[in-house]
Amino acid sequence: METEGTGQGPSRRQVLSAAGLAAVAVPFATRRQAPALVRRAGVAGAPPPEQVHVQFGADAASQVAVSWATAAAVSRPRLRLGRASFGHGLEVPAEERGYTEALTGETVLTYHARLRGLHPDTQYVYEVLHDGAAPVAGTFRTGPRGRSGGFRFTSFGDQAIPAAVGLGLGPWTPNAGFIVPAVERLDPLFHLFNGDLSYANVSDAPVATWTSFFNNNTRSAANRPWMPAAGNHENEVGNGPQGYLSYQTRFELPDNGSDEFRGNWYAFTVGTIRVISLNNDDVCLQDGGFSAFRRDNVPGYTANGDNPYIIGYSSGEQQRFLERELARARRSDEIDWIIVCMHQVAMSSAHFNGGDLGIRENWLPLFDRYGVDLVVAGHEHHFERSFPVRGVLPGSTLLTPAPQGTDASLMDTSTGTVHMIIGGGGHSTPTPVSDFDTPHDGVLITSVGPGSAQVQHPAITTTEPAPWSAYRDLQTPYGFASFDVVPHERGGTTSITVTHYGADLGSPVYSPRDQFVMRKPLGMDRQRDQLAGTATTR
Ligand SMILES: [Fe+2]
Ligand SMILES: [Fe+2]
């Protein structure tokens, strides 16, 4: 421990004050109680905390939540917070939240400690614990305030788990494990996880799948926030009205004003970036949440009216949230970048899923109107990125996005939104080369055929010109992207340098395969005014 001078350790008061912990507020009412009649483990022999992971609150400079799980109910779950130089100084009780898995009847218990009043750009240490078990340690760094400093974040989607569980129905590869230390080595401030997390919805052992997922990722996620978007494979039909109850229970995400849809969409600020996480199943035409295994094995599936096809489920609530968030971010002098983290894509060059017309109809006009800079997504299991796009190609009935500029290495996002597909997290089905047409075109889902709760609606696709596509990697099955943010450059610009790291199946070596820079002028007020006064071409 770094103590100087007298040779005596600091007093508890000095620790609290120096560590900036005095302002940490403690919890909040329990929203979702654990199922009744859960037997508490005795103090002796309590199972240890596991699956530890960190999330930012709405203000990354001052708010963090730490979450974990236990294999059985425990007594007095809590977190001890401190600073590396001073040890642990403050104890914060954790909220218990649980759910019952519809497929197996298992009870899952999770714990969440919310921390507020933290100091910006500061390294903290913590332990999570409960009576009768050894603490588990982690660390996190809060975000910088405004333009005070640069930072790095990383992103991928579509990970799955590193080894088979149950009957092995869900996807798994060694790369789902290898990618975690590869991310950790880059020491990002946070990680954006673009949906399709564990793929528990296609597993015969969904709880074990989630356990594998978090215990694999905790090597990084206990030390930096992994901020998720809910993908189609988070839809575990039977777990809550839209199948997201497991996702909602396991993560503690910034409040979106809705109890019912908590965590499905949310926003947070880190430095001069506003990140907005969306759930695209609300607008996608594709029937992506369907699971034949759950249809055939969730007790009472038909009698309960379970249905994984949930397009339109929020009745516009998510869209209203998105427009409010975008308008507020664009008005703010504190925000230079708007980044959307979501799962399914607006554009794709692959006959894998394809882009989804529902996203073009519902989200892209708002992205245009409020000048979203970057979208990170997954769903397609390859790497591809667009030029900045705004508006649509003249006369396009498919609403094909119109590229603004032709330089694939340096892009000005004040002219349009860059879309990235980063779907190589670790799943077992990379987009095959045969899914890409020659000559290069785009693939779009325009509707679905007949289906029901019992029969998946088939996607109906068409092809289109793809002048929006700036770069795609047909050869590298696995990878993630890093983003180095410089909030203020000489000459009055701000930039993000993006590097895609790729690896082959079975290889733990993730090496740089692609790099480009997004740069835009600071002081975007005039351009904001132009945006506000320009009707989109849709
Ligand atoms: Fe997906
Ligand atoms: Fe996926």
Residue 380 CA to ligand 2 centre (angstroms): 6
% of the chain beyond a pLDDT of 90: 87
> For residue 184, what pLDDT is reported?
98
Residue 222 CA to ligand 1 centre (angstroms): 25
Q: Is 312 left (phi over 0), alpha (psi -120 to 50) or beta?
A: left
Q: What is the mean pLDDT of the chain?
A: 91
> For residue 89, what pLDDT is reported?
83
Residue 72 CA to ligand 1 centre (angstroms): 31
> For residue 384, what pLDDT is reported?
98
> For residue 88, what pLDDT is reported?
80
Ligand (nearest to CA of 232): 1
DSSP state of 314: T
Residue 309 CA to ligand 2 centre (angstroms): 17
Residue 425 CA to ligand 1 centre (angstroms): 11
- Using alpha carbons, select from 383, 384, 388, 379 the residue that is nearest to residue 354: 379
Residue 209 CA to ligand 1 centre (angstroms): 17
The mean per-residue pLDDT over the stretch 20-43 comes to 43
> For residue 524, what pLDDT is reported?
57
Do residues 129 and 148 touch, judged by C-beta distance below 8 A? no
Q: How confident is the model at residue 531 (pLDDT cuts 50, 70, 90)?
A: low
190 alpha-carbon distance from chain centroid = 10
Residue 423 CA to ligand 1 centre (angstroms): 9
Residue 29 CA to ligand 2 centre (angstroms): 35
CA angle 407, 411, 415 (to 5 degrees): 110
Residue 415: pLDDT over 60: yes
> For residue 446, what pLDDT is reported?
98
The rounded distance, in Å, linking the Cα atoms of 476 and 460 is 27
Residue 335 CA to ligand 1 centre (angstroms): 30
> For residue 2, what pLDDT is reported?
26
Cα-Cα end-to-end distance for the chain:
61
Residue 444 CA to ligand 1 centre (angstroms): 15
Residue 44 CA to ligand 1 centre (angstroms): 43
Residue 185 CA to ligand 1 centre (angstroms): 26
Residue 426 CA to ligand 2 centre (angstroms): 9
What digits encode the pLDDT tens for the residues 190-233? 999 999 999 999 999 999 999 999 999 999 999 999 999 999 99
Q: How confident is the model at residue 22 (pLDDT cuts 50, 70, 90)?
A: very low
Residue 194 CA to ligand 2 centre (angstroms): 10
Q: What stretches of 244-373 adopt beta strand conformation (E)? A: 266-270, 273-277, 337-341, 355-356
The mean per-residue pLDDT over the stretch 409-428 comes to 98
The mean per-residue pLDDT over the stretch 142-159 comes to 97
**DSSP readout, 173-236?**
-THHHHHHHHHHHT--SEEEE-S--S-GGG-S-HHHHHHHHHHHHHHHHTTSBEEE---GGG--
What digits encode the pLDDT tens for the residues 358-402? 999 999 999 999 999 999 999 999 999 999 999 999 999 999 999
Residue 288 CA to ligand 2 centre (angstroms): 10
Tokens of 149: 């400093």
Residue 332 CA to ligand 2 centre (angstroms): 34
CA angle 198, 126, 181 (to 5 degrees): 40
Residue 305 CA to ligand 1 centre (angstroms): 24
% of the chain beyond a pLDDT of 70: 89
Distances (CA, A) of 198 to 5, 54, 277, 481: 50, 17, 18, 19
Ligand (nearest to CA of 157): 2
Residue 320 CA to ligand 2 centre (angstroms): 27
Residue 291 CA to ligand 1 centre (angstroms): 13
Residue 216 CA to ligand 1 centre (angstroms): 20
- Using alpha carbons, select from 371, 373, 52, 339 the residue that is nearest to residue 192: 339
Residue 164 CA to ligand 1 centre (angstroms): 19
What digits encode the pLDDT tens for the residues 51-100? 999 999 999 999 999 999 999 999 999 999 999 888 788 999 999 999 99
